[in-house]
């Protein structure tokens, strides 16, 4: 498999994002909400570079439709265990493709009246976007290839790769 983003580049970028977030959220004790399962590796590395107090939580959703053609119809599999009302919330996503999944989660979380709601995504496939979503922090913009590793899977495999690779088709 061809490497798209090496372990070293990931490490450097994740640290940059964590320091940026740490600067922006001083005294705010933000809640970082990881979207399962893909974001678990990114979230784990991100929080270890954070320099401010914060909390973490997880949410899990399943999208109907095939992997390569998201339908935008999303089912909540696991909800947050924290009440986010009045809190500064940062959604942590592995990759944004059509944006339909994140759009659903964002709207769902907004109904709970957080004080603020922003998004950090490691990867962004901008060209594929179907709905506009404000992204405060983006790691890498990538071309329209299917990628795996660093939490991202194909058929539940390859999540453990320490780098991002293009899946050969
Ligand atoms: P969206 O709703 O189309 O933005 O899809 C987002 C979700 O699809 C992501 O959270 C990933 O779980 C998955 N996904 C999209 N593109 C890829 C990819 O290239 N590799 C692995 N998973 C992907
Ligand atoms: Mg995901």
106-150 per-position pLDDT tens digit: 999 999 999 999 999 999 999 989 999 999 999 999 999 999 999
CA of 95 to the centre of ligand 1 (A): 6
* pLDDT over 90 (residue 41): yes
Enumerate residues lining ligand 1, CB below 6 A.
Answer: 38, 63, 70, 93-102, 146-148, 152
Q: pTM score, two decimals?
A: 0.95
DSSP 167: P
Q: Ligand 2 being an ion, which residues bring their Cβ within 5 A of it?
A: 38, 94
CA distances from 33 to 1, 7, 119, 161 (A): 30, 23, 9, 22
pLDDT band for 63, please (50, 70, 90 cuts): confident
Residue 28 burial by Cβ neighbours in a 10 Å radius (0-12, 13-18, 19+): middle
pLDDT averaged over every residue in the chain: 94
pLDDT band for 57, please (50, 70, 90 cuts): very high
- Predicted confidence at residue 74, as pLDDT, reads 85
User: Measured at the alpha carbon of residue 72, what is the angle toward residues 71 and 73, in degrees to the nearest 5?
Assistant: 90
Find all residues with CB under 8 Å of 3, minimum gap 6, and list them. Answer: 163, 164, 165, 166
Domain locations in the chain as residue ranges: 2-24+35-166
Work out which ligand 1 atom sits closest to the CA atom of 94.
Answer: 10
Domain 2-24+35-166 annotated CATH 3.40.50.970: no
79 is catalytic: no
Tokens of 51: 């320099």
Work out which ligand 1 atom sits closest to the CA atom of 146.
Answer: 19
């Amino acid at each position: 498999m061809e490497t798209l983003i090496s372990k070293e580049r990931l490490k450097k970028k994740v640290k940059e994002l964590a320091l940026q977030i740490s600067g922006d959220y001083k005294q705010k004790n933000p809640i970082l909400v990881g979207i399962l399962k893909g974001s678990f590796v990114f979230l784990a590395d991100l929080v270890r570079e954070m320099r401010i107090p914060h909390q973490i939580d997880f949410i899990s959703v399943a999208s109907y439709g095939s992997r390569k053609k998201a339908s935008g119809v999303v089912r909540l599999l696991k909800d947050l265990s924290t009440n986010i009302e009045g809190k500064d919330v940062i959604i942590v996503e592995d990759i944004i493709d059509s944006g339909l999944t994140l759009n659903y989660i964002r709207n769902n979380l907004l109904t709970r009246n957080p004080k603020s709601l922003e998004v950090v995504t490691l990867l962004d496939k901008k060209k594929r976007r179907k709905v506009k979503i404000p992204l405060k922090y983006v790691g890498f913009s990538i071309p329209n290839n299917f990628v795996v590793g660093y939490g991202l899977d194909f058929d539940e495999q390859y999540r453990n790769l320490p780098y991002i690779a293009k899946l050969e088709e």
